[in-house]
């Protein structure tokens, strides 16, 4: 059983505890929280509470997460857009809204469920829940991912990521006008102490993170940019763009809450992916245009 401790901030005071806790971790559902409360796995200031308890500022919440049940990955025909495939590696274009691998609350409809249906062999290094998965992109980010079909290929691709030789370029629409045509954001990223679901720029328990950006187009209140990852931290582009006061448009976690845009999720697309083939050594590079909803948003901004 894992134990997590949170302190309620002024911003969150007055909220029901069964609504607040799921905001700390995207894999925790409200129904899970309500079950844990009934099982007295959640305490406030050392005492058990009910699901309708309204938190106060400086309350100390302790969440004791039971050992996870074993998930069975069921193959599903999700008609994945496989851009490239050979006997060692494949590249898939993940749609926005699709989770990469099964987790509590997301047992079905994930990229892994679809891969299990369409692909004969996948590496087993990451276990039965994440077969073939070398790196991830967020649920509401679309774009290209490389997948390993055997363990040797998996190890090679991971080493390339660690050596920062993989070419990963994203297109993003961000709030405000970025004045510089090009720039580099070099700022370490770690987990937000107040909200575990969020990452933030911090010097405490963080890892180095570097994002290079180039302005493609400017509009009245938005900028279209291309971002190149030098490192691959959780939510890196989203956190870095917020850090320079230009959060990604449509981002429900790091962007302005009152801004409504005709797009479901953040306007962020992993459009270019390049790497060395793990066996032949040949350089492979693939690209995919932004999805239709993001293209429609660009057309609207250009008008």
Token pair 């009152």 is found at: 258
Q: Chain-wide mean pLDDT for the chain?
A: 90
Query: Listing from the earlier edge strand, what are the strands of the sheet with 199-201?
Result: 199-201, 189-191, 206-207
Which DSSP helix (H) or strand (E) runs through 31? Answer: helix 30-38
Token pair 């892994």 is found at: 112
- In this prediction, residue 128 carries a pLDDT of 67
What's the rounded Cα separation, in Å, for the pair 34 and 42? 9
The series of mean pLDDT values per 10 residues for the chain, 303 residues long, is: 87 90 76 86 92 93 77 85 96 94 80 90 74 90 95 92 95 96 97 85 93 97 96 95 96 81 89 97 97 94 91
Domains of the chain in start order, with CATH, are 2-65 (3.10.290.10), 69-163 (3.30.2350.10), 169-269+295-302 (3.30.2350.10)
Name the β-bridge partners of 207: 189
Look at the chain and count its residues: 303
Active site positions, annotated: 138
Q: How many CA atoms lie within 13 A of 68 on its CB side?
A: 11
Dihedral-angle region of residue 64 (phi above 0 means left; psi in -120 to 50 means alpha; beta otherwise): beta
For residue 13, give every residue at least 6 positions away whose Cβ sits within 8 Å of its Cβ, in sequence order, or none.
55, 56, 57
- In this prediction, residue 14 carries a pLDDT of 93
The token pair at 158 is: 């991971």
- In this prediction, residue 101 carries a pLDDT of 85
CB of 30 within 8 A of CB of 15?
no
Long-range contacts formed by 12-16: CB under 8 A, 24+ apart: 12/55, 13/55, 13/56, 13/57, 14/54, 14/55, 14/56, 15/54, 15/55, 16/51, 16/52, 16/53, 16/54, 16/55
What's the rounded Cα separation, in Å, for the pair 294 and 101? 24
In this prediction the pTM is 0.75
The token pair at 129 is: 């829940």
CB of 199 within 8 A of CB of 235?
yes
Instruction: Dump pLDDT digits (tens) for 101-116.
Output: 887 677 789 999 999 9
């Amino acid at each position: 059983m894992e134990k997590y401790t949170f302190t309620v901030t002024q911003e969150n005071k007055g909220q029901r505890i069964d609504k607040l806790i799921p905001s700390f971790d995207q894999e925790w559902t409200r129904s899970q929280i309500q079950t844990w409360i009934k099982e007295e796995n959640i305490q406030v200031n050392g005492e058990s509470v009910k699901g309708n308890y309204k938190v106060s500022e400086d309350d100390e919440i302790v969440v004791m997460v039971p050992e996870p049940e074993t998930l069975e990955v069921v193959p599903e025909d999700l008609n994945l857009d496989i851009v490239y495939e050979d006997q060692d590696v494949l590249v898939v274009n993940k749609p926005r809204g699709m989770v990469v691998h099964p987790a509590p609350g997301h047992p079905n409809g994930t990229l892994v469920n679809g891969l299990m249906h369409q692909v004969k062999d996948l590496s087993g290094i990451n276990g039965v829940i994440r077969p073939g998965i070398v790196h991830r992109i967020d649920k509401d980010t679309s774009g290209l991912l490389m997948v390993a079909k055997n363990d040797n290929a998996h190890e090679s691709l991971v080493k390339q990521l660690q050596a920062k030789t993989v070419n990963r370029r994203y297109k993003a629409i961000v709030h405000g006008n970025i004045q510089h045509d090009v720039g580099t954001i070099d700022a370490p990223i770690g987990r937000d102490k107040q909200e575990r679901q969020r990452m933030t720029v911090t010097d405490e328990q963080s890892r180095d993170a570097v994002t290079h950006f180039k302005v493609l187009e400017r509009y009245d209140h938005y900028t279209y940019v291309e971002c190149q990852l030098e490192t691959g931290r959780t939510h890196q582009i989203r956190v870095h763009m917020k850090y320079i006061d230009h959060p990604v448009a449509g981002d429900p976690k790091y962007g302005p809450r009152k801004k409504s845009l005709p797009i479901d999720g953040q306007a962020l697309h992993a459009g270019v992916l390049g790497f060395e083939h793990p066996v032949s050594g040949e350089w492979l590079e693939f690209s995919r245009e932004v999805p239709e909803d993001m293209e429609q948003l660009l057309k609207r901004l250009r008008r």
